[in-house]
């Protein structure tokens, strides 16, 4: 019926994307819109009211992210949303915040999942990145010292074929292994 107002069941799903003042929300919004969703930036609890799904993105450290969500009055509504088993997507830090806390800065987080987010063990790169022959840029496009990843010849890749000796150019970053 032309000109008729669509009913709620005919309208696109509404996604509330939590905006706490950090992160690239534009990419998330564009992806959701291209998939047929309607998007609202949630800066407070009222913005969640008519949403069908909740997206909690995040960048940075846990403590400031939790402080901003607390100031916005979003911590308890996010917990209730998840407890009610409603559609939820946590992206990057937004997913890490589901745990009880973070060892990064000692922050208490949402506590939806038992456990804490912990730092991964430092170790030398072991995967091929930016091989000069494959046209892939090095990280950040910057030249760096050549790093040779393990190969069959080293016996470091048991039973595997690691290709051309897997030489990479990975920029050296002081203090980072």
Q: Please report, in tens digits, the pLDDT of each residue of the chain (177 residues total).
A: 445 544 556 799 999 999 988 877 999 999 999 999 999 999 999 999 999 999 999 888 999 999 999 999 999 999 999 999 999 999 999 999 999 999 989 999 999 999 999 887 766 655 555 555 445 544 544 444 444 444 444 444 444 444 444 433 344 444 443
CATH tag for 14-117 (out of 3.40.50.880, 2.60.40.730, 3.40.190.10, 2.60.40.1180): 3.40.50.880
- Distance in angstroms (rounded) separating the CA atoms of residues 68 and 97: 13
**Which ranges constitute the DSSP H helices of 53-170?**
62-71, 75-83, 93-96
Q: Residue ranges per domain, the chain?
A: 14-117, 122-177
- Indicate the helix (H) or strand (E) that contains 32: helix 25-34
Angle between helices 75-83 and 62-71 (to 10 degrees): 90
Residues 149 and 128: beta-carbon distance below 8 Å = yes
């Amino acid at each position: 019926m032309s000109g008729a107002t669509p009913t709620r069941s005919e309208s696109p799903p509404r996604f509330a994307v939590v905006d706490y003042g950090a992160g690239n929300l534009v990419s998330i919004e564009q992806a959701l819109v291209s998939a047929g969703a309607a998007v609202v930036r949630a800066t407070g609890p009222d913005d969640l009211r008519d949403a069908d799904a909740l997206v909690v993105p995040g960048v940075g450290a846990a403590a400031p992210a939790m402080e901003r969500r607390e100031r916005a009055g979003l911590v308890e509504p996010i917990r209730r949303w998840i407890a009610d088993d409603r559609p939820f997507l946590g992206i990057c830090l937004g997913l890490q915040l589901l745990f009880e806390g973070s060892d990064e800065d000692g922050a208490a987080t949402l506590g939806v999942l038992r456990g804490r987010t912990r730092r991964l063990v430092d170790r030398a790169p072991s995967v091929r990145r930016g091989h000069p022959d494959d046209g892939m840029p090095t990280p950040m496009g910057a030249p760096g010292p050549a790093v040779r990843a393990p190969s069959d010849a080293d016996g470091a890749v048991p039973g595997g074929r690691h290709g051309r000796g897997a030489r990479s150019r990975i920029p050296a970053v002081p203090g980072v292994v």
